[in-house]
Chain A
Amino acid sequence: MNHIDQTFAGLKEQGKTALIPFLTVGDPDAGTTIEIIRQLEAAGADLIELGVPYSDPLADGPVIQRASGRALQHGITITECIQVAEDARKSGVKLPFILFTYYNPVLQMGLEKFFDLISKKEISGLIIPDLPTEEDAELRAMAEAANIHLIPLVAPTSKERIARITGRARGFIYCVSSLGVTGVRSDFHSGIDSFLSDVRQSTELPIAIGFGISSREHVERFSKQCDGVVVGSAIVRKIEETLPLLQSAEHRREGLEQIRQFVQGLKG
């Protein structure tokens, strides 16, 4: 059984909603990312999205763009990002890892080599925001063969596409909260509840919501309708604010502690 399925099954038994933090790997460096992952787990995260930095992140807003830029300044590669999952596991982290990457870095590594690598390195799921269902046949087949879940995104504009997308899905369905790129939002559009209920009716799989979820109020609001809540930019922004602490030997622990408290605060 895939690690993601086990986690959602366990949470369902307890009547809990998964908290799924996202972070950009290598911001500010791979070693710090591993320490942050440990804090996220300690703060009550249930699954973790590992964002691979990309030069042209067209689904991302300014916060994650900046984080990608910082990580790429050190020349971090997708191979090193994948290695972070294994290193985090060795350091004792138990959560399932989902790799969030744009398609081109995967394509350049070669699909065969890519799946060979991630199957060995503790990756349980994949999110590729610029690979819509029309383009994913080859990759999806290889993911299924490797027992790695290709987690699809559905958007408020997906409409009649929802059933087609969720029908092929594995792991869970990632519902994009609203039109737009990743980033903090103050409110959500009025159609969000009927959108989530449409997705719910189309699948037996867990559904999670992301894009713009940034506060405890948001997490609570969507916990009633969703099996998981993804918090990305808010955490990446918190990491950005904490960078001066993280990069100082003297204050590093304090920085990590602030991130832990922030994420714990989301969960309530």
Chain B
Amino acid sequence: MNHVPDENGRYGKFGGRYVPETLMNALFELEEAFNHYAKDPEFKAELQYLLKQYSGRPTPLYYAERLSKHLGGARIYLKREDLNHTGAHKINNSLAQALLAKRMGKTKVIAETGAGQHGVASATAAALLGLECKVFMGEEDTKRQQLNVFRMKLLGAEVVPVLSGTRTLKDACNETLRYWVSHVNDTYYILGSVTGPHPYPKMVRDFQRIIGDEAREQMLAEQGKLPDYVVAAVGGGSNAIGIFYPFIQDESVKLIGVEAAGKGVDSEEHAATMTKGRHGVFQGSLSYVLQDDHGQVLPAHSISAGLDYPGVGPEHSYLKDSGRAQYEPITDAEALEALQLLSRTEGIIPALESAHAIAQTMKLAPSLDKDQTIVVSLSGRGDKDVEAIMGYLGGI
């Protein structure tokens, strides 16, 4: 695999900077600051301190013995990102970007959020570092994720419900970009996924790769060998890139991204961008996009607000087209079943996003030998989803 992205933010043909001219200087300024601080020993030490003492890293790599035995195949290891402060991997990136914002002299930060996890993580990092924080969230999602809305408010952030378009993550991203265009001089945009214009996909990857760096080291320490598979859910794709990236050069390790098939990839209600999308420009980069024949972006659907997105990060498109990673769809129903299985066998209630990765693991593990291993990114905990799940399952 080549070293990506290049200096123009290209992952093969994907990526780039497709944004209004007003933002271009801000993107170059951000790229310069990121390149500088990524090498700055003081910045790195402060970030490392916060990740360890504040967020609780490293997160464990847990051997899910009962789940493995139940499925009767490979040994399954869960990378417990759900045990991070605020309950998901999102804090890795939010802490890092908020710290970067502060070093750049910005006093205000903005963020978009779908499930609310990135919003909560950004509100948390802003509170910790004394920054003013606004979070844009689709009105539909504010209803699905009321607890996270309240959490953000408790943390001192302002939550701005987005009423345009589909009123979900896609339009929250549009609105955050629009707000940034208007306030670019004093506001830092903490983008939550490996999407958007360069340098965001690279920067967020570099801030999330700690997931894979730790998992790789933990696997080698515990098993003395690399895993056979790494499985992670993909909405925009930040936890997946985070765990995949350190394994990309390890050719024996198969990488599987799991996207949301909603009510089925042949229905009109899904978020299976890789399976059903085409190359296109959306929200700042060239990547796979769910769209109609005329280039209008289609609304996505998933039971999981965090996967309910018609785009995907450009590096995932690159990994797909180069064949280095494969992407599989999982339906709402399969994710719900996986969520219940993990809860009952391991006492871990996963986020609906992560439940998609578990569901793919349920399909994969039984076909493998007992000496083979799967590492699954358990990207978040399910507390935020409990009320919605109760609605779907109607009691147990």
Contact = CB atoms under 8 A, between A and B. Distances in A.
Interface string B277-298: 0101111100001010111111
Contacts of A263: none
Interface in B111-148: none
B20 A59 contact: yes
A180 B187 CA distance: 13
A132 B183 contact: no
Contacts of B26: 157
Most chain A CB within a 10 A radius of its CB, from B17, B26, B296: B296
A105 B22 CA distance: 22
A252 to B, nearest CB: 28
Interface in B14-39: 16-26
B8 A107 contact: no
Contact of B24 (A79, A105, A108, A158): A158
Nearest to A65: B164
A56 B297 contact: yes
Nearest to B297: A55
B191 to A, nearest CB: 13
Contacts, number: 121
B276 to A, nearest CB: 15
Given A56-B283, A130-B281, A176 B21 contact: yes
A217 B26 CA distance: 32
B170 interface: yes
Most chain A CB within a 10 A radius of its CB, from B280, B281, B294: B294
Given A157-B26, A158-B21, A58 B280 contact: no
B289 to A, nearest CB: 7
Interface stretch (B91-99, B174-182, B249-257): B174-182
B20 A129 contact: yes
A135 interface: yes
Given A56-B283, A62-B164, A78-B295, A131 B18 contact: yes
Contacts of B18: 103, 130-132, 135
Contacts of B23: 157
Interface residues of A, number: 43
Given A54-B296, A181-B182, A134 B24 contact: yes
B171 to A, nearest CB: 8
B25 A159 contact: yes
A59 B180 CA distance: 11
Nearest to B284: A130
Contacts of B296: 54-55, 72, 105
B56 interface: no
A108 B20 CA distance: 20
B71 to A, nearest CB: 41
Main secondary structure on chain B at its contact with chain A? mixed
Given A132-B21, A179-B185, A105 B8 contact: no
A104 interface: yes
A133 B24 CA distance: 10
B165 interface: yes
Contact of A155 (B17, B22, B170, B284): B22
A107 B281 contact: yes
Nearest to B182: A180
B50 interface: no
Nearest to A158: B21
Contacts of A154: 21
Nearest to A154: B21
Given A103-B18, A107-B295, A61 B281 contact: no
A107 B294 CA distance: 9
Most chain A CB within a 10 A radius of its CB, from B17, B170, B298: B17
A133 B170 CA distance: 25
Given A54-B296, A56-B297, A134-B8, A103 B164 contact: no
A207 to B, nearest CB: 14
A256 to B, nearest CB: 28
B342 interface: no
Contacts of A65: 164-165
24 contacts: A55-B298, A56-B282, A59-B178, A59-B181, A62-B164, A65-B165, A77-B294, A102-B281, A107-B295, A130-B20, A130-B281, A132-B20, A132-B21, A134-B17, A135-B17, A155-B20, A157-B21, A157-B25, A158-B24, A161-B21, A176-B21, A176-B22, A179-B184, A180-B22
Given A104-B281, A180-B181, 10 more contacts: A55-B296, A56-B165, A62-B164, A78-B294, A104-B282, A104-B289, A108-B278, A108-B291, A176-B20, A179-B181
Interface of A: 54-59, 61-62, 65, 69, 72, 77-79, 102-109, 129-135, 152-159, 161, 165, 176, 179-181
